[in-house]
Amino acid sequence: MSTIRPSTAATGAIIVGTGHTRFGRLSETLEELIVAASREALADAGIGGDAVDAVWLGHFNSGMVADGFCSSMILGADEGLRYKPAIRCENACASGAAAVYSALDALASGRIDVALVVGVEKMTHLDTEAVTRSLGGASYQREENGVSFPEIFARYARAYSQRYGDPTDAMARIAVKNHHNALANPLAHMKKPLELDFCLTVSDRNPMIAPPLKVTDCSLITDGAAAIVLTRRDRVGEYRHAVGFRAVEQVSDLLPLSRKDLAAFEGPQRAFRKAYAAAGITVNDIDFAEVHDCFTIAELMTLEAMGLAEPGQASAIVREGQTERGGRLPVNLSGGLKAKGHPVGATGVSMHVLAARQLTGRAGDMQLDGAELGVCFNMGGGAVTSCVSVLEPVKA
């Protein structure tokens, strides 16, 4: 029997439907991925397109596909969606969270009652050089034109290493953990375990990409889509299950790397602090977190930004297993961007989908017993945009 919990939310919205394609090197087109995720989310919510008031699409693109105007592709998922307002959101790797938060704002304004939010990216038809060039559009072109994102995060890793000591052992352990977690995720791109020695060693199969980042420190080039249905919390009785937003916070920092302390995630730290304050919690209240591990150094520095470790101490808690399943705070039970995959525009929506399934006991082999509070952290650029959602079960 379902249980409806009293509201402690900072927003009046709930997730009542989720959809998620498999992530990987897929044959489906951009449109087919959008439609598949949308249909699954609508079916999960038990509604048709006619019940939706507006749709949002998170899609970075940056030249990876020719479709620069694709928000209305969502309308192909259901005849009832035709003529509904459709909006595309782009905010680098936080495009998915941008779409979610934009829909939440529309719900909070009272302008709409039901929203469908989709995140998508199609990447694997391009070679690595072309994808790297497209992703590079999310950096500060005046100073960083031609600098790859592996190099951007390598600069974070080098600055961190200079201040606190070499983090590469902990980075390798993060890769091992996330690949192990992905084995339980049927939607993950790479369901292949990694050995610690392999991740630590430069080799033909694990070359150095941007020192100290090796291939095993980098997330995957991936196709995929994810979708959620959002509605007002006072309509919870109409749906089978629901997850609420205890807090939603976004922080945008300066774009140039030259203006920031690269040994600290200042924007992410501020976003987490604001989210905790809004939710009335501390990091010790969180049961699990899905965080933006575009590179292993990003997960390591996020552990400090979220308050799980003091500055310079994240390597110790990784070595102790505190972020593994069964540890103090399991991080990236889905496999994270590192192994689940990182179809850029889909990532933020995917985090919300999988967190919602965790909180309603529908995460399958990924399920964490007794999960009551989850956090999603979606980041855009080199710690430029930081989006933190605190989620709680409302009806399970």
Residues 47 and 194 in one domain: no
* Concatenated DSSP letters of 162-218: HHH---HHHHHHHHHHHHHHHTT-TT-S------HHHHHS--SSS-EEETTEEGGGB
pLDDT computed for residue 11 by the predictor: 67
Query: What is the model's pLDDT at position 304?
Result: 98
Classify strands 224-232 and 114-121 as parallel, antiparallel or unpaired: antiparallel
Q: Looking at the structure, do residues 96 and 236 belong to the same domain, yes or no?
A: yes
Catalytic residues: 93, 342
User: What confidence score (pLDDT) does residue 1 get?
Assistant: 35
**160 is written with which tokens?**
């961190």
Using a CB cutoff of 8 Å and minimum separation of 24, what contacts does 4-7 make? 4/236, 4/237, 4/394, 4/395, 5/392, 5/393, 5/394, 5/395, 7/233, 7/244, 7/394
Asked if residue 284 and residue 187 are part of one domain, the reply reads yes
Q: Which domain holds residue 351?
A: 139-219+246-390
Tell me the residue ranges of DSSP E strands in the chain: 13-20, 54-58, 86-89, 114-121, 208-210, 213-214, 224-232, 242-252, 288-290, 374-380, 385-395
Specify if 81 maps to a domain: yes
What is the 8-class DSSP label of residue 265?
-
Confidence (pTM): 0.97
Residue 71 lies in a domain: yes
Residue 164 belongs to a domain: yes
Give yes or no: residues 26 and 40 share one domain.
Answer: yes
How many independent structural domains does the chain possess?
Answer: 2
Q: From first to last of its 396 residues, what are the pLDDT tens digits of the chain?
A: 345 555 445 568 999 999 999 999 999 999 999 999 999 999 999 999 999 999 999 999 999 999 999 999 999 999 999 999 999 999 999 999 999 999 999 999 999 999 999 999 999 999 999 999 999 999 999 999 999 999 999 999 999 999 999 999 999 999 999 999 999 999 999 999 999 999 999 999 999 999 999 999 999 999 999 999 999 999 999 999 999 999 999 999 999 999 999 999 999 999 999 999 999 999 999 999 999 999 999 999 999 999 999 999 999 999 999 999 999 999 999 999 999 999 999 999 999 999 999 999 999 999 999 999 999 999 999 999 999 999 999 998
Task: For residue 376, tell me if it sits in a domain.
Answer: yes
Residue 4 maps to a domain: no
CA–CA dist 222, 125 (Å, integer): 10
* CB-side neighbour CA atoms (13 Å) of 138: 30
Dump the DSSP string for 1-56: ---BPPP--SSSEEEEEEEEPPPBS--S-HHHHHHHHHHHHHHHHT--GGG--EEE
Does residue 131 lie within any of the structural domains?
A: no
Domain identity same for 206 and 78? no
- What does each C-alpha distance from 380 to 141, 220, 298 come to in angstroms? 15, 16, 12
Task: Scan for tokens 């080098």, then name that residue.
Answer: 158
Q: Assess if residue 396 is contained within a domain.
A: no
Query: Are 318 and 347 in the same domain?
Result: yes
- The CATH number assigned to the domain holding 369 equals 3.40.47.10
Residue 187 sits in the same domain as residue 107: no
Residues 375 and 339 in one domain: yes
224 within 8 A of 341, measured Cβ to Cβ: yes
Q: Which two tokens stand for residue 282?
A: 């501390």
Is there a single domain that holds both residue 330 and residue 265? Answer: yes
Which pLDDT does position 110 carry in this prediction? 96
Pair type for strands 114-121 and 54-58:
parallel
239 and 366 belong to one structural domain: no
Both 90 and 72 in a single domain?
yes
Question: How many alpha carbons fall within 13 Å on the CB side of residue 201?
Answer: 8
Sign of CA dihedral 247, 357, 368, 171: negative
Same domain, 103 and 57: yes
pLDDT at 3: 52
**How far is 102 from 71, CA to CA, in rounded Å?**
14
Spell out the residues 6+ positions from residue 85 whose beta carbon is closer than 8 angstroms to its own.
53, 54, 55
* Within-domain flag for 3: no
Structure tokens at 118: 């989709």
Distance CA 260, CA 252 (A): 12
**C-alpha to C-alpha distance for 225 and 73, rounded to whole angstroms:** 13
